[in-house]
A and B are shown apart, each in its own frame.
Chain A
Amino acid sequence: KQEVTQIPAALSVPEGENLVLNCSFTDSAIYNLQWFRQDPGKGLTSLLLIQSSQREQTSGRLNASLDKSSGRSTLYIAASQPGDSATYLCAAMNRDDKIIFGKGTRLHILP
């Protein structure tokens, strides 16, 4: 049974700092792992997708890594900005197409 855990549950950092969000999963036989952003009262926006054969993906100030053997993924945000404030969710897609989400990390960037 796949379980996805995100640590920390909430994080506040001053603007300009680099930060790391963590995601762990119990079943390493995943097809891919995806990071999303959700603003209050809104739907989910896809940020980065990492295939099981890959180790990292980058998009602008975002970098996501994947270590299947340890069941971990990290989302690195460089030079954080107030507009980055949101909830960040990771989701693991298993080979049977089941997609399980973590509970998310609520990020607050202090101006």
Chain B
Amino acid sequence: NAGVTQTPKFQVLKTGQSMTLQCAQDMNHNSMYWYRQDPGMGLRLIYYSASEGTTDKGEVPNGYNVSRLNKREFSLRLESAAPSQTSVYFCASSRKPTGNSGNTIYFGEGSWLTVV
């Protein structure tokens, strides 16, 4: 059971280049998320998808686009990368636990993106 898999793990881009971060989960979760993490800023939600075929803006959506390709996959695209988008990106998926314990959200290992 792989959980949440995101690629690439590391990427260096030049300003103005485009790229897509890929994310897939094998837990049959309805909801998927993209966050960015910068020093001292916690995790900030970029976009999320509550179900296949739907996407919604989070806290910091500008400069990004997303695609919920199917229930398993949720990609994040930077159309024209800027140095301000240098960050660590985390993909996640979630379920709503029905019991009194358990985890809500499961994370990928992170993608370190540098824009020069």
Contact = CB atoms under 8 A, between A and B. Distances in A.
Interface of A: 6, 9, 31-32, 34, 43-44, 46, 49, 51, 54, 57, 89, 91, 93, 96-104
A54 B99 CA distance: 11
Chain B: interface size category: 20 to 34
A69 B74 CA distance: 35
Contacts of B92: 99
Contacts, number: 71
Contacts of A93: 94, 96, 104-105
A96 B50 contact: yes
A6 B40 CA distance: 12
A34 B109 CA distance: 19
Contacts of B101: 49, 57
A57 B42 CA distance: 23
Nearest to A99: B105
From A6, A100, A102, name the one whose CB has the most chain B CB atoms within 10 angstroms: A100
